[in-house]
Structure 1
Protein backbone atom coordinates (compact mmCIF):
# COMPACT_ATOMS: atom_id res chain seq x y z
CA UNK A 1 0.00 0.00 0.00
CA UNK A 2 1.32 3.44 -0.97
CA UNK A 3 2.43 5.60 1.94
CA UNK A 4 0.11 8.52 2.59
CA UNK A 5 1.49 12.06 2.62
CA UNK A 6 1.29 13.43 6.15
CA UNK A 7 0.24 17.09 6.12
CA UNK A 8 0.12 19.80 8.78
CA UNK A 9 -2.50 22.51 8.25
CA UNK A 10 -1.68 25.86 9.87
CA UNK A 11 -4.61 28.25 9.43
CA UNK A 12 -6.42 30.52 11.89
CA UNK A 13 -9.82 30.56 10.16
CA UNK A 14 -11.50 27.49 11.60
CA UNK A 15 -14.08 27.05 8.85
CA UNK A 16 -11.45 27.24 6.11
CA UNK A 17 -9.08 24.98 8.05
CA UNK A 18 -11.75 22.33 8.63
CA UNK A 19 -12.66 22.42 4.96
CA UNK A 20 -9.06 21.76 3.93
CA UNK A 21 -8.76 18.97 6.49
CA UNK A 22 -11.88 17.25 5.13
CA UNK A 23 -10.64 17.53 1.56
CA UNK A 24 -7.16 16.22 2.36
CA UNK A 25 -8.39 13.31 4.44
CA UNK A 26 -10.69 12.43 1.56
CA UNK A 27 -7.69 11.71 -0.68
CA UNK A 28 -6.42 8.14 -0.75
CA UNK A 29 -2.77 9.25 -0.64
CA UNK A 30 -3.02 12.09 1.91
CA UNK A 31 -3.85 12.54 5.58
CA UNK A 32 -3.69 15.40 8.05
CA UNK A 33 -1.03 14.78 10.69
CA UNK A 34 -2.15 17.75 12.81
CA UNK A 35 -3.71 21.19 12.49
CA UNK A 36 -3.13 24.49 14.29
CA UNK A 37 -4.61 27.96 14.49
CA UNK A 38 -1.37 29.93 14.81
CA UNK A 39 2.38 29.69 14.41
CA UNK A 40 3.15 29.13 18.07
CA UNK A 41 0.87 26.09 18.26
CA UNK A 42 2.47 24.80 15.07
CA UNK A 43 6.00 24.97 16.50
CA UNK A 44 4.84 23.12 19.61
CA UNK A 45 3.35 20.34 17.49
CA UNK A 46 6.37 20.31 15.17
CA UNK A 47 8.59 19.49 18.15
CA UNK A 48 6.60 16.24 18.49
CA UNK A 49 5.64 15.38 14.90
CA UNK A 50 7.43 16.19 11.66
CA UNK A 51 4.96 16.13 8.74
CA UNK A 52 5.86 15.53 5.10
CA UNK A 53 4.21 18.80 4.02
CA UNK A 54 3.09 21.95 5.83
CA UNK A 55 0.30 24.16 4.47
CA UNK A 56 1.08 27.52 6.08
CA UNK A 57 -1.18 30.55 6.35
CA UNK A 58 0.49 33.96 6.72
CA UNK A 59 -1.84 36.22 8.72
CA UNK A 60 -2.47 34.56 12.09
CA UNK A 61 -2.70 35.70 15.73
CA UNK A 62 0.00 35.08 18.37
CA UNK A 63 2.64 34.20 15.75
CA UNK A 64 2.18 34.74 12.03
CA UNK A 65 3.19 32.37 9.26
CA UNK A 66 6.31 34.31 8.35
CA UNK A 67 7.89 34.00 11.80
CA UNK A 68 6.67 30.42 12.19
CA UNK A 69 8.20 29.46 8.84
CA UNK A 70 11.58 30.97 9.71
CA UNK A 71 11.68 29.20 13.09
CA UNK A 72 10.42 25.90 11.67
CA UNK A 73 13.12 25.87 8.99
CA UNK A 74 15.73 26.56 11.65
CA UNK A 75 14.49 23.42 13.42
CA UNK A 76 14.16 21.36 10.24
CA UNK A 77 15.96 22.90 7.22
CA UNK A 78 14.53 20.18 4.96
CA UNK A 79 10.92 20.82 6.00
CA UNK A 80 8.64 21.24 2.97
CA UNK A 81 6.39 24.25 3.45
CA UNK A 82 3.72 25.44 1.02
CA UNK A 83 2.37 28.91 1.79
CA UNK A 84 -1.36 29.57 1.50
CA UNK A 85 -1.61 33.22 0.53
CA UNK A 86 -4.14 35.94 -0.14
CA UNK A 87 -3.47 38.09 -3.20
CA UNK A 88 -3.08 41.21 -1.04
CA UNK A 89 -0.14 39.68 0.86
CA UNK A 90 2.45 40.29 -1.87
CA UNK A 91 4.79 42.03 0.61
CA UNK A 92 5.45 38.54 2.03
CA UNK A 93 6.17 36.81 -1.30
CA UNK A 94 9.89 37.42 -1.65
CA UNK A 95 10.54 37.06 2.10
CA UNK A 96 8.95 33.62 2.32
CA UNK A 97 10.76 32.43 -0.80
CA UNK A 98 14.08 33.64 0.59
CA UNK A 99 13.34 31.73 3.80
CA UNK A 100 13.14 28.56 1.72
CA UNK A 101 9.48 27.61 1.27
CA UNK A 102 8.88 25.04 -1.46
CA UNK A 103 5.53 26.29 -2.70
CA UNK A 104 3.31 29.35 -2.74
CA UNK A 105 -0.35 29.17 -3.77
CA UNK A 106 -3.41 31.40 -3.47
CA UNK A 107 -6.21 30.47 -1.09
CA UNK A 108 -8.65 30.48 -4.00
CA UNK A 109 -6.65 27.75 -5.76
CA UNK A 110 -8.73 24.99 -7.34
CA UNK A 111 -8.55 21.54 -5.76
CA UNK A 112 -6.62 19.95 -8.61
CA UNK A 113 -3.85 22.54 -8.28
CA UNK A 114 -3.79 22.17 -4.49
CA UNK A 115 -3.35 18.41 -4.71
CA UNK A 116 -0.80 18.80 -7.53
CA UNK A 117 1.17 21.26 -5.39
CA UNK A 118 1.27 18.86 -2.45
CA UNK A 119 2.36 15.91 -4.58
CA UNK A 120 4.97 17.91 -6.50
CA UNK A 121 6.56 19.35 -3.36
CA UNK A 122 6.41 15.99 -1.59
CA UNK A 123 8.42 14.49 -4.45
CA UNK A 124 11.11 17.14 -4.04
CA UNK A 125 9.84 19.69 -6.53
CA UNK A 126 8.61 23.27 -6.30
CA UNK A 127 5.13 24.65 -6.92
CA UNK A 128 4.31 28.35 -7.23
CA UNK A 129 1.12 29.94 -8.54
CA UNK A 130 1.82 31.71 -11.80
CA UNK A 131 0.15 34.95 -10.73
CA UNK A 132 2.37 35.09 -7.65
CA UNK A 133 5.49 34.52 -9.74
CA UNK A 134 4.37 37.21 -12.15
CA UNK A 135 3.79 39.71 -9.36
CA UNK A 136 7.17 38.94 -7.83
CA UNK A 137 8.91 39.65 -11.11
CA UNK A 138 6.91 42.78 -11.86
CA UNK A 139 7.82 44.15 -8.42
CA UNK A 140 11.53 44.04 -9.32
CA UNK A 141 13.26 47.21 -10.40
CA UNK A 142 14.52 47.12 -13.97
CA UNK A 143 18.16 48.01 -14.44
CA UNK A 144 19.21 46.93 -10.93
CA UNK A 145 20.08 43.35 -11.88
CA UNK A 146 23.30 41.80 -10.53
CA UNK A 147 25.00 39.70 -13.20
CA UNK A 148 26.68 37.06 -11.07
CA UNK A 149 26.33 34.37 -13.73
CA UNK A 150 27.69 36.30 -16.73
CA UNK A 151 24.25 36.46 -18.34
CA UNK A 152 23.81 38.44 -21.53
CA UNK A 153 21.14 41.12 -21.93
CA UNK A 154 19.09 38.77 -24.12
CA UNK A 155 19.39 35.95 -21.59
CA UNK A 156 18.23 38.28 -18.82
CA UNK A 157 15.30 39.45 -20.94
CA UNK A 158 14.33 35.86 -21.70
CA UNK A 159 14.65 35.00 -18.00
CA UNK A 160 12.26 37.79 -17.04
CA UNK A 161 9.64 36.45 -19.44
CA UNK A 162 10.20 32.84 -18.33
CA UNK A 163 9.53 33.99 -14.76
CA UNK A 164 6.26 35.65 -15.78
CA UNK A 165 5.00 32.48 -17.43
CA UNK A 166 5.62 33.18 -21.12
CA UNK A 167 6.06 30.21 -23.45
CA UNK A 168 9.08 29.83 -25.74
CA UNK A 169 6.89 30.85 -28.68
CA UNK A 170 5.67 34.01 -26.92
CA UNK A 171 9.22 34.96 -25.91
CA UNK A 172 10.44 34.37 -29.45
CA UNK A 173 7.75 36.68 -30.85
CA UNK A 174 8.53 39.43 -28.32
CA UNK A 175 12.27 39.23 -28.89
CA UNK A 176 11.99 38.71 -32.67
CA UNK A 177 14.04 35.54 -32.45
CA UNK A 178 13.44 31.90 -33.37
CA UNK A 179 11.89 29.43 -30.95
CA UNK A 180 15.07 27.36 -31.27
CA UNK A 181 17.13 30.33 -30.03
CA UNK A 182 14.82 30.81 -27.05
CA UNK A 183 15.09 27.11 -26.20
CA UNK A 184 18.87 27.55 -26.29
CA UNK A 185 18.60 30.57 -23.96
CA UNK A 186 16.48 28.56 -21.52
CA UNK A 187 18.99 25.69 -21.48
CA UNK A 188 21.92 28.10 -21.14
CA UNK A 189 20.22 29.89 -18.25
CA UNK A 190 19.70 26.59 -16.44
CA UNK A 191 23.33 25.63 -17.04
CA UNK A 192 24.85 29.00 -16.07
CA UNK A 193 22.81 29.34 -12.87
CA UNK A 194 23.29 25.64 -12.03
CA UNK A 195 19.53 25.24 -11.68
CA UNK A 196 17.99 21.76 -11.68
CA UNK A 197 15.13 22.65 -14.02
CA UNK A 198 12.99 25.60 -15.13
CA UNK A 199 11.09 25.78 -11.83
CA UNK A 200 14.36 25.92 -9.90
CA UNK A 201 15.67 28.52 -12.36
CA UNK A 202 12.69 30.77 -11.64
CA UNK A 203 13.18 30.42 -7.91
CA UNK A 204 16.88 31.27 -8.14
CA UNK A 205 16.03 34.27 -10.31
CA UNK A 206 13.64 35.61 -7.68
CA UNK A 207 15.73 34.75 -4.62
CA UNK A 208 18.90 36.25 -6.15
CA UNK A 209 17.20 39.20 -7.90
CA UNK A 210 18.28 37.97 -11.33
CA UNK A 211 15.33 39.48 -13.16
CA UNK A 212 15.17 41.89 -16.07
CA UNK A 213 11.71 42.78 -17.42
CA UNK A 214 11.28 42.89 -21.17
CA UNK A 215 8.66 45.51 -21.98
Structure 2
Protein backbone atom coordinates (compact mmCIF):
# COMPACT_ATOMS: atom_id res chain seq x y z
CA UNK A 1 0.00 0.00 0.00
CA UNK A 2 1.56 3.28 -1.06
CA UNK A 3 1.61 6.05 1.47
CA UNK A 4 -1.37 8.43 1.53
CA UNK A 5 -0.62 11.91 0.14
CA UNK A 6 -2.36 14.59 2.21
CA UNK A 7 -3.42 17.59 0.13
CA UNK A 8 -4.69 21.05 1.04
CA UNK A 9 -6.64 22.99 -1.62
CA UNK A 10 -6.73 26.78 -1.79
CA UNK A 11 -9.09 28.43 -4.27
CA UNK A 12 -11.65 31.21 -3.80
CA UNK A 13 -14.32 29.25 -5.71
CA UNK A 14 -16.07 26.47 -3.75
CA UNK A 15 -17.15 24.79 -7.01
CA UNK A 16 -13.54 24.57 -8.19
CA UNK A 17 -12.43 23.13 -4.84
CA UNK A 18 -15.13 20.47 -4.86
CA UNK A 19 -14.25 19.52 -8.46
CA UNK A 20 -10.55 19.27 -7.59
CA UNK A 21 -11.38 17.26 -4.50
CA UNK A 22 -13.33 14.72 -6.58
CA UNK A 23 -10.62 14.59 -9.23
CA UNK A 24 -7.80 14.00 -6.74
CA UNK A 25 -9.66 11.54 -4.53
CA UNK A 26 -10.37 9.26 -7.47
CA UNK A 27 -6.83 8.16 -6.61
CA UNK A 28 -6.83 5.98 -3.53
CA UNK A 29 -3.43 7.30 -2.47
CA UNK A 30 -4.52 10.99 -2.38
CA UNK A 31 -6.68 12.53 0.36
CA UNK A 32 -7.81 16.16 0.55
CA UNK A 33 -7.48 16.97 4.26
CA UNK A 34 -8.18 20.72 4.21
CA UNK A 35 -9.47 23.57 2.08
CA UNK A 36 -8.93 27.33 2.18
CA UNK A 37 -10.70 30.05 0.21
CA UNK A 38 -7.95 32.67 0.31
CA UNK A 39 -4.20 33.12 0.56
CA UNK A 40 -4.67 34.53 4.05
CA UNK A 41 -6.61 31.47 5.19
CA UNK A 42 -4.05 29.12 3.63
CA UNK A 43 -1.27 30.88 5.53
CA UNK A 44 -3.18 30.83 8.83
CA UNK A 45 -4.30 27.20 8.67
CA UNK A 46 -1.20 25.68 7.06
CA UNK A 47 0.56 24.81 10.36
CA UNK A 48 -2.42 22.95 11.83
CA UNK A 49 -2.96 20.94 8.64
CA UNK A 50 0.65 20.40 7.54
CA UNK A 51 -0.30 18.85 4.18
CA UNK A 52 2.21 16.92 2.08
CA UNK A 53 1.21 19.13 -0.85
CA UNK A 54 -0.55 22.49 -0.99
CA UNK A 55 -2.40 23.21 -4.25
CA UNK A 56 -2.97 26.95 -4.54
CA UNK A 57 -4.81 29.14 -7.01
CA UNK A 58 -2.63 32.00 -8.18
CA UNK A 59 -5.25 34.71 -8.67
CA UNK A 60 -7.44 35.18 -5.61
CA UNK A 61 -8.89 38.33 -4.07
CA UNK A 62 -6.87 39.68 -1.17
CA UNK A 63 -3.32 38.47 -0.69
CA UNK A 64 -3.20 36.30 -3.82
CA UNK A 65 -1.40 33.02 -4.39
CA UNK A 66 2.09 34.31 -5.07
CA UNK A 67 2.23 36.39 -1.89
CA UNK A 68 0.75 33.50 0.15
CA UNK A 69 3.41 31.20 -1.36
CA UNK A 70 6.14 33.65 -0.35
CA UNK A 71 4.89 33.89 3.23
CA UNK A 72 4.31 30.17 3.69
CA UNK A 73 7.80 29.30 2.42
CA UNK A 74 9.30 31.99 4.63
CA UNK A 75 7.75 30.36 7.72
CA UNK A 76 7.83 26.72 6.56
CA UNK A 77 10.65 26.33 4.02
CA UNK A 78 9.88 22.62 3.52
CA UNK A 79 6.33 23.33 2.26
CA UNK A 80 5.59 21.72 -1.11
CA UNK A 81 3.37 24.01 -3.13
CA UNK A 82 1.79 23.63 -6.58
CA UNK A 83 0.45 26.78 -8.20
CA UNK A 84 -2.78 26.09 -10.05
CA UNK A 85 -3.44 28.97 -12.40
CA UNK A 86 -5.68 30.23 -15.16
CA UNK A 87 -2.58 31.89 -16.63
CA UNK A 88 -1.07 29.81 -19.38
CA UNK A 89 1.91 32.01 -20.10
CA UNK A 90 5.49 31.38 -19.11
CA UNK A 91 5.79 34.62 -17.10
CA UNK A 92 3.54 33.36 -14.30
CA UNK A 93 5.10 29.90 -14.32
CA UNK A 94 8.62 31.33 -14.06
CA UNK A 95 7.58 33.73 -11.28
CA UNK A 96 5.96 30.87 -9.33
CA UNK A 97 8.94 28.55 -9.65
CA UNK A 98 11.40 31.34 -8.83
CA UNK A 99 9.35 32.12 -5.71
CA UNK A 100 9.74 28.50 -4.62
CA UNK A 101 6.71 26.62 -5.95
CA UNK A 102 7.53 23.02 -6.86
CA UNK A 103 4.88 22.75 -9.54
CA UNK A 104 2.86 24.90 -11.91
CA UNK A 105 -0.31 23.61 -13.56
CA UNK A 106 -2.57 25.61 -15.89
CA UNK A 107 -6.28 25.24 -15.12
CA UNK A 108 -7.01 24.82 -18.82
CA UNK A 109 -4.63 21.85 -19.09
CA UNK A 110 -5.29 18.15 -18.91
CA UNK A 111 -7.07 17.15 -15.67
CA UNK A 112 -4.52 14.39 -15.17
CA UNK A 113 -1.75 17.01 -15.00
CA UNK A 114 -2.81 18.01 -11.50
CA UNK A 115 -2.89 14.42 -10.27
CA UNK A 116 0.56 13.84 -11.76
CA UNK A 117 1.82 17.09 -10.23
CA UNK A 118 0.59 16.13 -6.74
CA UNK A 119 2.31 12.73 -6.93
CA UNK A 120 5.58 14.14 -8.31
CA UNK A 121 5.75 17.03 -5.84
CA UNK A 122 4.85 14.75 -2.90
CA UNK A 123 7.89 12.64 -3.81
CA UNK A 124 10.12 15.71 -3.81
CA UNK A 125 10.30 16.34 -7.56
CA UNK A 126 9.16 19.46 -9.35
CA UNK A 127 6.45 19.43 -12.01
CA UNK A 128 5.58 21.47 -15.08
CA UNK A 129 3.05 20.14 -17.58
CA UNK A 130 4.57 19.41 -21.00
CA UNK A 131 3.00 22.43 -22.71
CA UNK A 132 4.03 24.80 -19.88
CA UNK A 133 7.57 23.40 -19.89
CA UNK A 134 7.70 24.02 -23.64
CA UNK A 135 6.55 27.63 -23.22
CA UNK A 136 9.11 28.27 -20.49
CA UNK A 137 11.87 26.70 -22.60
CA UNK A 138 10.85 28.67 -25.69
CA UNK A 139 10.82 31.93 -23.77
CA UNK A 140 14.37 31.34 -22.52
CA UNK A 141 15.55 30.08 -25.94
CA UNK A 142 14.20 32.90 -28.08
CA UNK A 143 16.20 35.33 -25.99
CA UNK A 144 13.00 37.34 -25.63
CA UNK A 145 14.24 39.47 -22.78
CA UNK A 146 11.18 39.59 -20.56
CA UNK A 147 11.95 42.25 -17.95
CA UNK A 148 9.18 41.00 -15.63
CA UNK A 149 11.30 37.93 -14.92
CA UNK A 150 13.85 40.11 -13.14
CA UNK A 151 11.26 41.11 -10.55
CA UNK A 152 11.12 39.50 -7.13
CA UNK A 153 7.80 37.82 -6.26
CA UNK A 154 6.85 40.85 -4.14
CA UNK A 155 7.70 43.30 -6.92
CA UNK A 156 5.79 41.15 -9.40
CA UNK A 157 2.66 41.22 -7.21
CA UNK A 158 2.85 45.02 -6.87
CA UNK A 159 3.41 45.29 -10.63
CA UNK A 160 0.41 43.05 -11.37
CA UNK A 161 -1.88 44.96 -9.01
CA UNK A 162 -0.78 48.34 -10.39
CA UNK A 163 -1.39 47.05 -13.92
CA UNK A 164 -4.89 45.99 -12.86
CA UNK A 165 -5.50 49.58 -11.82
CA UNK A 166 -5.37 49.08 -8.05
CA UNK A 167 -4.55 52.11 -5.92
CA UNK A 168 -1.56 52.31 -3.58
CA UNK A 169 -3.80 52.13 -0.46
CA UNK A 170 -5.53 49.01 -1.80
CA UNK A 171 -2.23 47.29 -2.66
CA UNK A 172 -0.86 48.12 0.79
CA UNK A 173 -3.95 46.56 2.39
CA UNK A 174 -3.82 43.42 0.26
CA UNK A 175 -0.13 42.75 0.81
CA UNK A 176 -0.21 43.93 4.42
CA UNK A 177 2.58 46.46 3.91
CA UNK A 178 2.76 50.25 4.38
CA UNK A 179 1.74 52.67 1.65
CA UNK A 180 5.25 54.12 1.72
CA UNK A 181 6.64 50.63 0.98
CA UNK A 182 4.28 50.30 -2.00
CA UNK A 183 5.45 53.72 -3.24
CA UNK A 184 9.07 52.52 -2.93
CA UNK A 185 8.21 49.42 -4.98
CA UNK A 186 6.60 51.68 -7.58
CA UNK A 187 9.86 53.62 -7.87
CA UNK A 188 12.02 50.49 -8.16
CA UNK A 189 9.62 49.03 -10.77
CA UNK A 190 9.96 52.14 -12.90
CA UNK A 191 13.74 51.79 -12.82
CA UNK A 192 13.88 48.02 -13.34
CA UNK A 193 11.34 48.02 -16.15
CA UNK A 194 12.33 51.38 -17.62
CA UNK A 195 8.78 52.73 -17.59
CA UNK A 196 7.76 56.34 -17.03
CA UNK A 197 3.97 56.34 -16.87
CA UNK A 198 1.00 54.19 -15.77
CA UNK A 199 0.12 53.68 -19.45
CA UNK A 200 3.57 52.21 -20.18
CA UNK A 201 3.20 49.95 -17.14
CA UNK A 202 -0.13 48.58 -18.41
CA UNK A 203 1.26 48.13 -21.95
CA UNK A 204 4.22 46.15 -20.61
CA UNK A 205 1.95 44.01 -18.43
CA UNK A 206 -0.24 43.23 -21.45
CA UNK A 207 2.74 42.51 -23.70
CA UNK A 208 3.99 39.78 -21.37
CA UNK A 209 0.57 38.41 -20.51
CA UNK A 210 0.62 39.57 -16.88
CA UNK A 211 -2.83 41.03 -17.48
CA UNK A 212 -5.18 40.47 -20.39
CA UNK A 213 -6.93 43.28 -22.19
CA UNK A 214 -9.46 44.89 -19.92
- For normalisation by structure 1, the TM-score amounts to 0.61
Q: What are the ranges of 5 or more consecutive residues in structure 2 without an aligned counterpart?
A: 146-214
In structure 2, the CA distance between the partners of 1:67 and 1:143, relative to structure 1 (3 Å rule), is closer
The question of 1:3 aligning with 2:3 is answered: yes
Distance 1:138 1:96 in 2: 17
Corresponding position of 1:48: 48
In structure 2, the CA distance between the partners of 1:5 and 1:141, relative to structure 1 (3 Å rule), is closer
Distance 1:70 1:141 in 2: 27
Q: Secondary structure at the match of 2:55?
A: strand
The question of 1:112 aligning with 2:112 is answered: yes
Distance 1:37 1:124 in 2: 26
Q: Deviations over 1:80-101 (max 9, x none)?
A: 1111122355432222111111
* Contact 2:94–2:136 under 8 Å retained in 1: yes
Q: Deviations over 1:151-172 (max 9, x none)?
A: xxxxxxxxxxxxxxxxxxxxxx
Aligned residues: 145
Q: Deviations over 1:144-192 (max 9, x none)?
A: 99xxxxxxxxxxxxxxxxxxxxxxxxxxxxxxxxxxxxxxxxxxxxxxx
- For normalisation by structure 2, the TM-score amounts to 0.61
Query: What aligned pairs does 1:1-215 form with structure 2 within 5 A after superposition?
Result: 1-88=1-88, 90-140=90-140
Q: 1:27 Cα deviation (Å)?
A: 2.1
* Contact 2:5–2:29 under 8 Å retained in 1: yes
Distance 1:88 1:81 in 2: 18
Q: Secondary structure at the match of 1:87?
A: coil
Q: Deviations over 1:88-144 (max 9, x none)?
A: 554322221111111111112333332221111111111102222232233348569
Distance 1:19 1:143 in 2: 39
* Contact 2:9–2:54 under 8 Å retained in 1: yes
Q: What are the ranges of 5 or more consecutive residues in structure 1 without an aligned counterpart?
A: 146-215
Greater CA drift, 101-110 or 59-68 = 101-110
Q: Secondary structure at the match of 1:48?
A: helix
Q: Deviations over 1:187-209 (max 9, x none)?
A: xxxxxxxxxxxxxxxxxxxxxxx
Q: Which runs of 4+ in 1 moved over 3 A?
A: 87-91, 137-145
Q: Which has the larger radius of gyration?
A: 1
Quote the RMSD (CA, aligned, Å). 2.2
